[in-house]
A = this chain, B = another copy of it.
């Protein structure tokens, strides 16, 4: 499990999709404009997200991206893992049979911690996060003030 700006981009973009879920697909160009990320970079990230079945692309005019599954079934951990896609040689899948015992010790300790972090992030779904009152407040405030009017609040099933 790693956390970097890459993961942040992916997560915020997915939040964007979730927020506008009820309207049609969201184009990468929109996200690129709003969040100030280059289009091509987004394309790379979404290519990975699509391969992991987290988003679905809709081609042709009026197309864009949608969540491939309900927001209740997409966890933060899944999003981050999708774009990081480390073979995770650090944990599980030991490369060498662990020569030094000491190395093995700290290795195992870190893995324990790593698993804990992962399951924490895996316990947070997009829907759950977006339905938090403080988050909803932010979303509504933004909605009232600006373009893309009339977007209904995210309704979590």
Cβ-defined contact, B15 with A109, below 8 A = yes
A106 close to B (CB within 8 Å): yes
A116 close to B (CB within 8 Å): yes
Cβ-defined contact, B12 with A142, below 8 A = no
Bound form: Cα–Cα A134–B108 in Å: 10
CB-CB < 8 A to A107: which residues of B?
A: 12
A120 close to B (CB within 8 Å): yes
CB-CB < 8 A to A2: which residues of B?
A: 3-4
**A1 nearest CB across to chain B (Å):** 6
Secondary structure at chain A's binding surface: helix, strand, loop or mixed? helix
**A110 nearest CB across to chain B (Å):** 5
A23 close to B (CB within 8 Å): no
CB-CB < 8 A to A132: which residues of B?
A: 112
Q: On chain A, which size bracket covers the interface?
A: 35 or more
CB-CB < 8 A to A105: which residues of B?
A: 138-139, 142
CB-CB < 8 A to A116: which residues of B?
A: 124
CB-CB < 8 A to A16: which residues of B?
A: 106
Q: Which of A42-50, A54-62, A96-104 lies at the interface?
A: A96-104
CB-CB < 8 A to A109: which residues of B?
A: 12, 15, 129-130, 135, 138
Other A-B pairs beyond A11-B113, A109-B129, 19, CB < 8 Å: A2-B4, A3-B3, A4-B4, A8-B90, A8-B110, A11-B110, A15-B106, A15-B110, A35-B103, A35-B106, A36-B100, A101-B145, A101-B146, A105-B139, A108-B138, A109-B138, A112-B135, A113-B129, A117-B121
